[in-house]
């Protein structure tokens, strides 16, 4: 079972990494995709201690600039990303966001494009945050068909989902689906093939039905697997098997080292 999107190096998780990883391993988590957000998180990820995460079999690290943090980035950020990327497995968390919390989309576009180009050049997968911008991202993917990755915490329409899947992309399903009110998301995920899905928590940021946002941890990814198994009417072990294979195949096919 793989949590394909967690912020292990953001507070409060970063202060407690060995315990957080132990709790995940106890819950059956075998792998983590750890993503960056802002420049301070790059520094922490660069100075990671692999012994802290040794309780899980595979940890894949992504480096990238999240769309919320594009407003005041230091000069030379792109050169730094390019220089450091060989020590990482993927480009992320990057993306486009037309929500209220995000900077102007015009500021986000060049930063997104530059990072997607790095993903294409290096062959490393892209881990995307997309909020109300699926039209723009799908347009980019159409023009750059060799780029592969995950749309994390997918929130688009069934038609958007089909377009991503047709282009070989995976869709991340997170703790939101455990909430009673998530009727729309549940309906969409129920109609999607398991072969296109991966599990995630976005911890600590996104919560679950009983853990508030800001306090979640990778061990909660099991609750996501359980909810998908309920929606699809299949065994939870089968959901775990298929989604784990999807996640690992992506990293293998994009030439990332485990
Ligand atoms: Zn995230």
Residue among 208, 184, 188, 207 at smallest CA distance from 196 = 188
* pLDDT attached to residue 50: 86
Res. 150: pLDDT tops 50: yes
The pTM for the full model equals 0.96
**What spacing in Å lies between the alpha carbon of 193 and ligand 1's midpoint?**
23
Closest to 253 in 3D by CA, of 170, 148, 162: 148
Interval 111-126: pLDDT, tens: 999 999 999 999 999 9
Task: Give the pLDDT confidence score for residue 46 in this predicted structure.
Answer: 92
> How many Å lie between the centroid of ligand 1 and the Cα of residue 4?
10
CA-wise closest residue to 4 among 40, 38, 39, 30: 30
User: CA 157 to CA 166: how far, in whole Å?
Assistant: 14
Cα gap 213→10, rounded to integer Å? 14
Q: What is the mean pLDDT of residues 70-87?
A: 95
Distance 183 CA to ligand 1 centre (A): 22
What residue spans define the domains of the chain? 2-253
Q: How far is the CA of 249 from the centre of ligand 1 (A)?
A: 21
Ligand 1 centroid distance, CA of 93 (Å): 6
- Mean of per-residue pLDDT scores for the chain: 96
Q: Note the pLDDT tens digit of each residue in 11-31.
A: 999 999 999 999 999 999 999
How far away, in angstroms, is 5 Cα from ligand 1 center? 6
Instruction: Quote the ligand 1 centre to 156 CA distance (angstroms).
Output: 16
Range 2-253: architecture per CATH: Alpha-Beta Barrel (3.20)
**Three-class secondary structure of residue 58 per DSSP:** strand
Rounded mean pLDDT, 178-199: 97
* Helix and strand element counts for the chain (H, E): 9, 8
Q: How much distance in Å is there from the Cα of 35 to the middle of ligand 1? A: 7
What's 71-125 look like in SS3? CCCCCCHHHHHHHHHHHCCEEEEEEEECCCCCCCHHHHHHHHHHHHHHHHHHCCE
Give pLDDT, residue 56. 95
End-to-end CA gap in the chain: 15
């Amino acid at each position: 079972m793989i949590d394909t999107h967690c912020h292990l190096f953001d507070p409060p998780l970063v202060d407690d990494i060995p315990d957080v990883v132990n709790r995940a391993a106890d819950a059956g988590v075998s792998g983590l995709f750890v993503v960056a957000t802002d420049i301070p998180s790059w520094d922490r990820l660069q100075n990671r201690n692999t012994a802290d995460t040794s309780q899980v079999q595979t940890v894949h690290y992504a480096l990238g600039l999240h769309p919320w943090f594009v407003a005041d980035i230091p000069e030379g950020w792109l050169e730094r990303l390019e220089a450091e990327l060989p020590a990482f497995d993927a480009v992320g968390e990057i993306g486009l966001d037309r929500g209220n919390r995000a900077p102007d989309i015009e500021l986000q576009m060049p930063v997104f494009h530059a990072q997607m180009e790095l993903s294409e050049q290096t062959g490393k997968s892209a881990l995307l945050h997309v909020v109300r911008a699926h039209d723009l991202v799908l347009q980019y993917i159409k023009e750059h068909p060799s780029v592969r990755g995950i749309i994390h915490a997918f929130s688009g329409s069934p038609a958007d989902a089909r377009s991503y899947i047709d282009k070989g992309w995976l869709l991340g399903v997170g703790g939101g689906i455990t909430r009673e009110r998530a009727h729309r998301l549940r309906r969409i995920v129920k109609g999607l093939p398991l072969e296109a899905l991966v599990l995630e928590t976005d911890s600590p940021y996104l919560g679950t039905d009983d853990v508030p946002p800001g306090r979640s941890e990778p061990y909660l990814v099991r609750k996501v697997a359980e909810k998908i198994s309920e929606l699809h009417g299949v065994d939870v072990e089968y959901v775990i098997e298929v989604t784990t294979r999807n996640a690992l195949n992506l990293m293998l096919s994009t030439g990332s080292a485990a």
